[in-house]
Structure 1
Amino acid sequence: MTLTYPLDMDTISSSSPPSGLHQLDDDLQQLKLALQQLDFALQQLDFALHQQLDLALQQLDLDLQQLELAGLQQLELASIRSPSACGPLYKAPDPALAQSSTTPSNMPGIRSAFLLASAFLAWRADGSPVHIRGDERFNTLQQSTHAAYGAVATDIKTCSDIGGDIMKQGGNAADAMIASCLCVGTIASYHLGIGGGGFMLVRSPNGTYDMIDFRESAPAALNETMYVADISTSLYGGLASGVPGELRGFEALHKKYGQLPWKDIFAPAVKPGREGFIIQDTLASIMHSSGYEFLYEQPTWAIDFAPNGTLLGLNDTMTRKRYADTLETIGKYGADAFYNGPMANVTAKAIQDAGGIMTAADLANYTAVHRDPLHITYRDYDLYSTSAPSSGGIALFARKILEGYNMSGIDNINVTTQRLVEAMKFAYGQRTELGDPNFVYNVSSFETEILQESTAAGLRAMISNTHTLNSTAYDPFSYEILWDHGTSHMVTADNSGLVVSLTTTVNLYFGSQVMVPETGVVMNDEMNDFFSPGSSNAFGYVPTEANFIRPGKRPLSSISPTIAQFKNGTFYVALGAAGGSRIITSNIQNLWHVLDQGMSASKALAEPRLHDQISPNATTFEYSYDNATVAYLASAGHNVTWVAPGQSIAQAVRYTNGMFEAAADPRRLDSGALGTLHMDIFEAYMIAMGNGNAIKSRCTVNDRSIEFLTMKSQNWTVQQFGSAQSIK
């Protein structure tokens, strides 16, 4: 275990004498950081020694239990050889009762049919990649893979690969989710990481559903008026950070559903941080945007983002060695290593040094919460999503309104789109009543009420095919609608029937812009997702009390991961999105395309999207949206606006015809789904053969073809051919 962190001490000691006070100040900051790291290393050593002692005692206890069990088994054997009047002293459990969950008949059960192809670029005949930018041709680019054993969809291809590797090692969808998410948090630290939190929806192999709430919570010393004087303190600095929940969420998922050892799941995510990863388009673009100068100006950030004094850029190799060491430690000692001991102490200190009030006790007291998910019937499907303080109920409510219409055809697409927008707006109008159920009275009953058919029918009757309504019709109290940010969504599924749909975030890019110097953890700015009393936004909307700040409370979120299954219990599709307040409308539209229009997941995610959340008064359309439809909505009174693609980024996994389809959003160039690759301009066919013969794969690109000849062995192998990768 590495207990010290990289710092260029040679540069400090051998540099020429400072030419001014500015250089002296920089040197003092570097020295202070070095001393902090040394102190942290000593604390870590002390913590590690205590943990090793605890582990040794646990192992001793386990050994004693095994010895006791061996003795009982010997007694049982003796009783079989020489039966006594009392019968055997130890009876083995009934195998029928001890048998683990079997593969449901409605899921594939052939592990050897695991077929994956991943690389979401087109190839020229010379093997060089052809990038297609999302704002130019994203609607023609579909990113998907198909596999029989399992599927992983994330917004970073490397991390989808890691999830697939975990499954090949015997892990399941829960293990793959944790490993993939840790990887994304390492590479895409601008929008998630263990300094953040979120929600996940889990479908168990037996078809039951579970919600895990690992949303950040307000520190104990926080109060509702703390941000009234200066709202920016809820965005940047120590006061902006809530108590992070991601690791407790992973812990809860692993304890209930995981299969591989905890440390084995963490190990793959350590590698990219320690050995380095290539900076892709999205990260490079954000790093070089205005407002992120702290990445190279502040020494704590510069260690990773500007190690040689100059901000890294596209295609440069970046390392996050402190973060890798942190993950390695947590992998060895569990989530408690983050929430207690040295890591908790340095996290609290970093927050307090940045003007915050979070304490080590806040971290120690944090728990993930298992909640009951929400459920509706929609046509031939059962739909499940997450309950408050997430917004799954809002996404489901819009679906109940739309259920009264024929949404499948395109013959009357203008009217269908008008109904879609109106349903979204009525659903958003209910969102202001939601909040943390531990603090908001009767919120669960409210969610149940809005999901009733009678409620949907009442609002459906108010929808006109030809005109929109005044905003007060959707939101009669003119409450402020939350405009939140950020996030990343991932989906994993395996052939046992286990499915995990997870959304996590640090909120704004790079969260609160506070990084813990010793651990490299980027802290969230989720306190901005609360409302403050006595203030209204620029549109005259007043904040809703349901989302006022309270100590320990979790802020309202747009996150709404959703899973649909057939009425017979067969899993069909799981999806979710990133994009703040646009998450809900993204999920509504993607479900519309899959459930009503019969699209594949990849085609659904490539369709252009619209968004309307009542406030601000604008209906936004991505550039490639049909002009006639946009004109129709403008004539109906909507304030239409064109936007570039990328306002939301979605991921999905669909199960059909015995195969998983993993789909990644083509709006993000470095997205990836693991699980035959299909694009309008590129088709790759990978055929699995079980007889050990050679496999010939032909890739057709613009009428030019490339042939790959590979060998199929009995063991899993990975072969590289230029930019393409196939896992056989």
Structure 2
Amino acid sequence: MFIQYLASEIQMNSRTVTIVLLLFAFLQNAAAKKRQHSIVASNAAVATDHGQCSKIGMNVLRQGGNAMDASVAVALCLGVVNPGSSGLGGGSFAVVKMASGKETAYDFREVAPLRATEDMYGGNLELKKKGPLSVAVPGEVAGLFTAWKQLGKLPWKQLVYPAEKLAAEGYMISKYLYMQMNATRDDILADKGGLSELFASNGELKKPGTIVRNPKLAFTLKQIAEHGPKVFYNGTVGVNLVNDIQKLGGIVTLKDLHSYKVKVKKPLSNDILGYRLLGMPPPSSGGSSMVLILNILSQYGIPKGVAGPLGVHRLVEALKHAFAVRMNLGD
């Protein structure tokens, strides 16, 4: 089973461009060397942006789990050690292709609360970026559980436990997390009852290598492990979450949590130079932009038509065109 776990960003950013460039380089190289279209291996690899999470993913595979099991465990782990990039309060996309040929796209991005209105920010763009009105209805727990329920092998508890243990026993602040902490330093220090307790000491941010324990998150993960998503969307975790958001002036309600639904779709697909590529359909712009760019470039012939300065120019123009067209995409 092959899984492409897409970033939790609808915006086409540098990571999307990087994916396009890597795919294009692969296709260019494959066309030049006429590689075989499939590679079979008896081993597995798990790649994340944190070593502990990669180890957790590999341990899941060694325990008899499949790629979906490993993805669930890894996603929950990243929410503990890299809370600036991932977490239970967010959402994501996942594109899955089974060895049987079955292809599925899971959309469990956050959605706007039912009380949201077109003019609720009053022209203040900062309110869209941070603060209580920027909080949407989270989808991660529902999405991971749905995908696991359909495709996973190991027990749900077994996949949640490693993240729960990490939150309870502690993890080291990485250089990457410290960089994110510095970028939001004032917000962390101002949050006296929350983030400052985790990431600050004596009015200063904790340094890389410092051990951080998050018992509240560990308790939440334990409840999710034992009761599944119902405790998050229709139980005590959800009640506490809504209360906290509304105390700060947010508009998420219990009805929002009750009505959240994971969208299961067909992936976007396209044949490029004999390879079938899969991507996430809207509201993600990554899949459609990627297909558009590669279709444009393939018209010039590979590798000759995209080599040298002219090839670079064509690549840049294709990227510019995709950035412009994606502005018309919406949910």
TM-score tier, shorter chain, comes to 0.7 to 0.9
| Map of 1:48 onto structure 2 | none
Structure 2 match to 1:434? 329
Matched, 1:296 2:192: no
Identity value in percent: 35
Corresponding position of 1:397: 292
Letter in 2 for 1:432: M
Q: Which residue number in structure 1 is paired with residue 32 of structure 2?
A: none
In 1, Cα distance between the equivalents of 2:123 and 2:321? 33
Change over 3 Å in CA distance of 1:408–1:344 after alignment to 2 = same
Distance in 1 (CA, whole Å) between partners of 2:55 and 2:303 is: 35
CA distance in 1, matches of 2:234, 2:178: 34
Query: Equivalent of 1:318, from 212, 220, 226?
Result: 212
2:313 maps to a residue whose letter is Q
Letter in 1 for 2:270: I
Q: What's 1:306 paired with?
A: 200
TM-score when scaled to structure 1? 0.39
CA 411–287 in structure 1, closer or farther in 2 if over 3 Å, else same: closer
- Contact persistence 1:247–1:335 (CA under 8 A): yes
Q: Quick check: 1:423 aligned with 2:318?
A: yes
Q: Would you tell me which structure has more strand in proportion to its own residues?
A: 1
Alignment deviations for residues 171-205 of structure 1 (CA, whole Å, 9 cap, x no partner): 11000000011101100001110100111100012
The CA distance in 2 between the partners of 1:236 and 1:421, in whole Å, is 33
| Equivalent in the alignment of 1:257 | 151
Q: Summarize the alignment of residues 15-30 of structure 1 with structure 2, pairs less than 5 Å apart.
A: none
1:173 aligns with 2:78: no
Is the alpha carbon distance of 1:309 and 1:292 closer, same or farther for their aligned partners in structure 2, counting shifts above 3 Å? closer
| Partner-residue secondary structure (3-state), 1:152 | coil
Q: Distance in 1 between matches of 2:310 and 2:71?
A: 39
Aligned equivalents of 1:421, 1:297: Cα separation in 2:
42
How far is 1:165 from its partner?
0.1
Matched, 1:406 2:290: no
Measure how far apart 1:272 and its partner are. Answer: 1.6
Aligned to 1:337: 231
Q: Distance in 2 between matches of 1:293 and 1:327?
A: 28
Q: What SS does structure 2 have at the residue aligned with 1:383?
A: strand
Which deviates more from structure 2 when the two are superposed, residues 349-358 or residues 147-156? 147-156
Question: Residue type of the partner of 2:109?
Answer: R
| 1:205 matches 2:109 | no
> 2 CA distance for matches of 1:349 and 1:416?
55
Match of 2:140 in 1: 246
Q: Is the 8 A contact 1:201 1:386 kept in 2?
A: yes
Unaligned runs of 5+ in 2: 3-39
**Secondary structure at 1:265 match in 2:** helix
Secondary structure at the aligned position of 1:154 is classed as coil
AA matched with 1:169: Q
| Deviations 1:101-121, CA, capped at 9 Å, x for gaps | xx9xxx9xxxxxxxxxxxxxx
TM-score of the two chains, using structure 2 as the length reference: 0.84
Letter in 1 for 2:288: G
**In 1, Cα distance between equivalents of 2:288 and 2:237:** 36
Counterpart residue type for residue 297 of structure 2: L
Aligned equivalents of 2:303, 2:174: Cα separation in 1? 38
Structure 2: which amino acid aligns with 1:296?
A: L
Match in the other structure for 1:488? none
Alignment gaps of 5+ in structure 1: 1-102, 108-145, 437-728
- 1:559-708 matches, cutoff 5 A: none
Q: Give 2:20's aligned residue.
A: none
* Contact 1:150 1:173 (8 Å CA) reproduced: no
Larger radius of gyration: 1
Structure 2 distance, partners of 1:409, 1:278, is: 48
Paired residues of 1:238 and 1:353 also in contact (CA < 8 A): no
The structural deviation recorded for 1:407 is 3.9
Q: In 2, are the aligned partners of 1:373 and 1:386 still within 8 Å (CA)?
A: yes
SS at match of 1:150: coil
Query: Counterparts of 2:203 and 2:161 in 1: how far apart (Å)?
Result: 30
Contact 2:185 2:205 in 1 (8 A): no
Aligned match of 2:160: 266
Aligned length: 292
Q: Which of 172, 178, 181 pairs up with 1:278?
A: 172
The answer as to whether partners of 2:66 and 2:152 remain within 8 angstroms in 1 is: yes
In the alignment, the residues of structure 2 paired with residue 308 and residue 273 of structure 1 have an alpha-carbon distance, to the nearest angstrom, of: 22
Letter in 1 for 2:52: T
SS in 2 for 1:435: coil
Q: Distance in 1 between matches of 2:162 and 2:127?
A: 36
- Quick one: distance in 2 between partners of 1:383 and 1:288? 38
Shift of 1:354: 1.5
Alpha-carbon distance change, 201 to 354 in structure 1, aligned in 2, over 3 angstroms: same
Secondary structure at the counterpart of residue 375 of structure 1: strand
